[in-house]
Chains A and B, each alone.
Chain A
Amino acid sequence: MTTDRRPTRALVASAVVPLGVAVTGTATAYAVRDRLPDRLAVHWGVDGAPDRYSSFTGAVVTAAALTVAVPLAIIGLGALMHRSARGPVAAIAGGLSVALGGLLFGGLLAQRPGQPPQAFPPQWAVPSLVLAVLVGVGLWRWGRITPPEVTGPRGPLPADAARLDVAPTTRLAWTGRASLPTGPALALAVVVALPLVWVALAGLPWVWLLALALGALLAVTLSARVVVDSAGLRVSSAGFTWSRVPLERVTSATTCTVSPLREFGGWGWRLAMDGRRGYITRAGEALVVHRVGEPDVVVTVDDADEAAAVLNTLAART
């Protein structure tokens, strides 16, 4: 079997994106230099008025450095991760560099002598973000590994895989939730909302929209429904499916104790260094689904042992 090289290629390609964006941005800035003011605003206060200026060269070099440095650091981490994680990491790094480059260079190039520099150039923001999403999706699709075909009858489940003692005619299912405990959820809301509300009150009303959008995004991404039934495992939030493992791709299910920061580097839908996918909302017990030819899927749910037993029982029937 030849190794699928696309994840690594996508990761290498994603390193070209920030360099390309930085070079294009720098070249464009030099091309229109005589139309820009001598001193460029590079930082804005909470009221939207510029509070720091820089020379043309200083501003361009800073924009280029930021556009390149952050994505390259992410790509470096991706190179150390499991092969199956490289596509998603390439997507994040590529998309991020387009968004960063668009906003940073866009903010510089939109300035004109004698006019007050805008805090945020909306005419650049939207196209940059759309392009960033397109680049991200493109790299993600390129770097995606096609899971191996499941052929022939499945092997028997491990003898120690927990199962339920029920009649073969019994229809089994398990439903649960993976969500942030109330305390951390409130703390997160305060940490995210307070700075934005402060900025919004200080004179940038459009930030209310950003705060609302972020709040909705967090509410959706930090709580998921977890279902085990005759179709396999499904983890979804408000109609968006994070993970779906068909029963025929389940080798077996078990439980583990997870540490969100140490193993998954945070909360939400995560990629671990070893390629495991996790929907992680807290420390503690979690359902682990071993898959055919792909890394495990981990979901933090209460009564994970029961969910694992249901999944094993259903898988043993296929």
Chain B
Amino acid sequence: MLWQVDPTSSTPLHAQVAACVRREMASGRLARGDRLPSAKEVAGVLDVNLHTVLRAYQALRDEGLIDLRRGRGAIVTATDPAGDARLRSLVAELVAEARLTGTTPTDLTRLIESEFQR
């Protein structure tokens, strides 16, 4: 699977690492039962701190996408990784785009709300 983080981006590194996993899930390349590389290995290949990757994995666990067990590593558990995960990556993209155009969180929320009311 592809891992990419940009240290110059304003998005925190741990969020970028988690986004890599969500993108693989959304594209269907990670299936239920697949094992993710160990946090130590990911930290090594991306040259980031181990705690950064652990934080990303914990976020994915809190979203119910992976299961973290000592000695077994990270196992993909989400039955429908394309649902919640896809929404989250779309929001991440949306926020990144909003930052580029200088849109404030309030403006963006208003835009989303008006889209809901259509």
A29 to B110, CA, bound (A): 95
A11 to B44, CA, bound (A): 40
Q: Mark B37-48, 1 if CB is under 8 A from A, else 0.
A: 100011011111
Among A164, A169, A173: residue with most chain B CB under 10 A: A173
The answer to whether B46 and A173 touch across the interface, beta carbons within 8 angstroms, is: yes
Q: Mark A163-197, 1 if CB is under 8 A from B, else 0.
A: 01011011111111000000000000000000000
Residue from B8, B45, B48 in contact with A227 in the complex, judged by beta carbons closer than 8 Å = B45
Residue from A167, A175, A225, A303 in contact with B3 in the complex, judged by beta carbons closer than 8 Å = A175
A225 to B37, CA, bound (A): 9
**Chain B residues in 8 Å Cβ range of A170:** 4-6
A303 to B29, CA, bound (A): 9
**Chain A residues in 8 Å Cβ range of B1:** 174-176, 303
Residue of A nearest to B1 (CB): A175
**Chain A residues in 8 Å Cβ range of B102:** none
A230 beta carbon closer than 8 Å to chain B: yes
A229 beta carbon closer than 8 Å to chain B: yes
B2 beta carbon closer than 8 Å to chain A: yes
Q: Mark A87-125, 1 if CB is under 8 A from B, else 0.
A: 000000000000000000000000000000000000000
Residue from A166, A171, A172, A175 in contact with B37 in the complex, judged by beta carbons closer than 8 Å = A175
Docked complex: B1-60 residues within 8 A CB-CB of A: 1-8, 29, 37, 41-42, 44-48
A294 beta carbon closer than 8 Å to chain B: no
Residue of B nearest to A175 (CB): B37
A303 to B48, CA, bound (A): 24
Residue of B nearest to A307 (CB): B2
A310 beta carbon closer than 8 Å to chain B: yes
Residue of A nearest to B34 (CB): A177
A171 to B8, CA, bound (A): 10
A274 beta carbon closer than 8 Å to chain B: no
Query: Given A174-B2, A303-B29, are A169 and B7 also a contact pair (CB < 8 Å)?
Result: yes
The answer to whether B46 and A227 touch across the interface, beta carbons within 8 angstroms, is: no
The answer to whether B45 and A169 touch across the interface, beta carbons within 8 angstroms, is: no
Query: Given A306-B2, A310-B2, are A171 and B41 also a contact pair (CB < 8 Å)?
Result: no
**Chain B residues in 8 Å Cβ range of A167:** 6, 8
A173 to B53, CA, bound (A): 14
Least distance between A205 CB and chain B CB atoms (Å): 31
The answer to whether B47 and A175 touch across the interface, beta carbons within 8 angstroms, is: no
The answer to whether B2 and A169 touch across the interface, beta carbons within 8 angstroms, is: no
Least distance between A224 CB and chain B CB atoms (Å): 13
A99 to B57, CA, bound (A): 49
A318 to B45, CA, bound (A): 17
Residue of A nearest to B8 (CB): A169
Contacts A164-B4, A173-B45 supplied; 9 other A-B pairs, CB < 8 Å: A169-B6, A170-B5, A170-B6, A175-B37, A175-B41, A229-B44, A229-B45, A230-B47, A310-B2
B: which residues have CB within 8 A of A?
1-8, 29, 37, 41-42, 44-48
Pairs of residues from A and B, 3 with the lowest C-beta to C-beta distance, nearest first:
A173-B45, A229-B45, A173-B3
Listed A/B pairs (28) with beta-carbon separation below 8 Å? A164-B4, A167-B8, A169-B7, A170-B4, A170-B5, A170-B6, A171-B3, A171-B5, A171-B6, A171-B7, A171-B46, A171-B47, A171-B48, A172-B3, A172-B4, A173-B3, A173-B46, A174-B3, A175-B42, A225-B37, A225-B41, A227-B41, A227-B45, A229-B44, A229-B46, A230-B47, A303-B1, A303-B29
